[in-house]
Amino acid sequence: MQTVPENPPSMPNPLSGQPGLSPTPPPVYTGSTIGLWLRDLLVSAVASVLIITFLYQPVRVEGTSMLPRLEDRDRLFINKFVYHISAIERGDVVVFHYPRDPEKSYIKRVIALPGDRLRIEHGVVWLNSRRQLENYVPEEYRDTRSVAEIVVPEGSYYMMGDHRSISSDSREFGPVERSLIYGKAVFIYWPARDAGVVR
């Protein structure tokens, strides 16, 4: 019968003394677990503040022209940086300075891009001779207004609200210049029942 001692004698390291090989170094501890946790928490908090300050801005919706997705007094975050690295696309919900009074901000959906040929016939939007299926506009929010065909100027975008029957938009004040657009609506955070991504 063979027995194993409770405290076996230390064995020589087989790697010691061999060229090119060294024993695994012992772990080095630089502080307590709580200290590391607090450091990581502080770094995360600072990063979050910087992200919100420089990338996102909270705004409040005033009015009902973007029903049913955006309701009056909804709070949401807009991304102020995204259009510095990517293009504005049809369907984006954007925030821009009102062309007739830059002190005011509007939130609308991008319907047409620079160079698009647009016309509206009894509430139906046609882009480049193709009828648009706008699933984000419920039937009860449509209207029968018409707009003669235009070509959206370079550097401008055609905006419309989803609640077509009450929205003041590019049908009234014309296409919006790119320089007036300063954010993309991304997320509703209040009230909780409306929380979610803006589409």
Active site residues: 65, 108
Residue carrying the six token digits 């919100």: 52
The DSSP 8-state label assigned to residue 73 in this structure reads T
20: amino acid identity, one letter: G
Residue 101 pairs in a beta bridge with 98
Rg (CA), the chain: 30
What is the torsional sign of CA 183, 184, 185, 187?
negative
Q: How far apart are CA 34 and CA 27, in angstroms?
A: 18
